[in-house]
Amino acid sequence: MKIFPAIDIKDKKCVRLLRGNFNNQTTYEQSPFDQASKYKDAGFLNLHMVDLDGALTGELINLEIIENIIKKLNISIEVGGGIRSMDKVQAYIDIGADKVILGSAAIKDPDFLRQACDRFKNKIALGLDAKKGKLSVSGWKETIDQTAEDYLRNVNEYGFSRVIYTDIDRDGTKTEPNLEETINIAKISSSPVVVSGGIASIETIKKIKTLNKLNIEGVIVGKAIYDGDIDLNKLRELEDA
């Protein structure tokens, strides 16, 4: 199983949002680079990074910060947030991102997703964020009348290499992820699925690790790390080499 410690960047700082709400965020003292270094020193192989400024503006506001982390720490990063054109995908590929996460732009324009998958083989991850079962887009400010399952069925053969499923109502709450819905997504998906949103404890992650036969590839862990609820060394022991 892959474990992705999360770094969300806003105003050049590490933050965590509660249920995707920009008006309810916690800002942490560590810089994104220092936090990434902490994960690297603990032995993690992968990071999940989101440019929250980019999610709001559609611009790659924190590209330089992310590039610095990739090049200086030599760690595998999946990155998302406001990536709405091929040029922006290319910019992240050029700085060495392992995966580029397409969310809002892919949901609003499935053909964009198809073209990106064709052009950037094995580099595109599909981010599906949902509230009460319906997909959420545009920095989680807009909910559209389509379920994640229905959307996925329509694009399942496009060739993305990973699906990241987040129940926004669980994100940042530490109230446990929506495993039932995530497993439903995994049953449909032609690519492996990563669990996101609501991770609270090592016990939860151990449970998720037993789901690898159900097409579950890994888990994203954010607020529980920042708040000290999860010990990094114990967490690292659960990641497969």
Phi, psi for 165 (deg, rounded to 5)? -105, 125
Q: Label residue 2 by pLDDT band (50, 70, 90).
A: very high
User: Which residue, among 204, 140, 144, has the nearest Cα to 166 in the 3D structure?
Assistant: 140
Rounded Cα distance, 2 and 42, in Å: 14
**Which has more confidence, 180 or 25?**
180
Q: Label residue 232 by pLDDT band (50, 70, 90).
A: very high
Rounded Cα distance, 219 and 179, in Å: 11
For all residues of the chain together, what is the average pLDDT? 93
What tens digit of pLDDT does each residue of 42-95 get? 999 999 999 999 999 999 999 999 999 999 999 999 999 999 999 999 999 999
Question: Residue 214 gets which letter from DSSP?
Answer: G
25 beta partners: 17
H or E element at residue 196: strand 193-196
Each domain of the chain, given as residue ranges in start order, spans: 2-236
Q: Compute the Cα dihedral for 43, 45, 51, 52 and give only its sign.
A: negative
What tens digit of pLDDT does each residue of 135-179 get? 988 767 788 899 999 999 999 999 999 999 999 888 877 788 999
Residue type, 236: R
Among the options 51, 53, 98, 129, which is catalytic?
129
Q: Which residues contact 206 (CB under 8 A, 6 or more apart)?
A: 238
Is 53 designated active site? no
- Tokens matching residue 128: 């599906």
Burial of 42 (0-12, 13-18, 19+ CB in 10 A): middle
Rounded Cα distance, 141 and 143, in Å: 7
- Position 22 scores a pLDDT of 81
- Position 20 scores a pLDDT of 76
Burial of 183 (0-12, 13-18, 19+ CB in 10 A): middle
- Position 124 scores a pLDDT of 98
Rounded Cα distance, 159 and 123, in Å: 10
**Which has more confidence, 183 or 170?**
183
Quick check: 198 and 222 in contact, CB under 8 A? no
- Tokens matching residue 81: 């947030």
Question: What is the model's pTM?
Answer: 0.94
Is the pLDDT reported for residue 24 higher than 90? no
- Position 188 scores a pLDDT of 96
User: Which residue, among 173, 169, 232, has the nearest Cα to 205 in the 3D structure?
Assistant: 232
Is 240 designated active site? no
Is the pLDDT reported for residue 113 higher than 60? yes
For the domain covering 2-236, report its CATH number. Answer: 3.20.20.70
- Position 240 scores a pLDDT of 77
User: Which residue, among 179, 174, 175, 177, has the nearest Cα to 224 in the 3D structure?
Assistant: 174
Average pLDDT over residues 82-111: 97
Q: Compute the Cα dihedral for 229, 199, 161, 130 and give only its sign.
A: negative
- Position 213 scores a pLDDT of 87
Average pLDDT over residues 190-207: 94
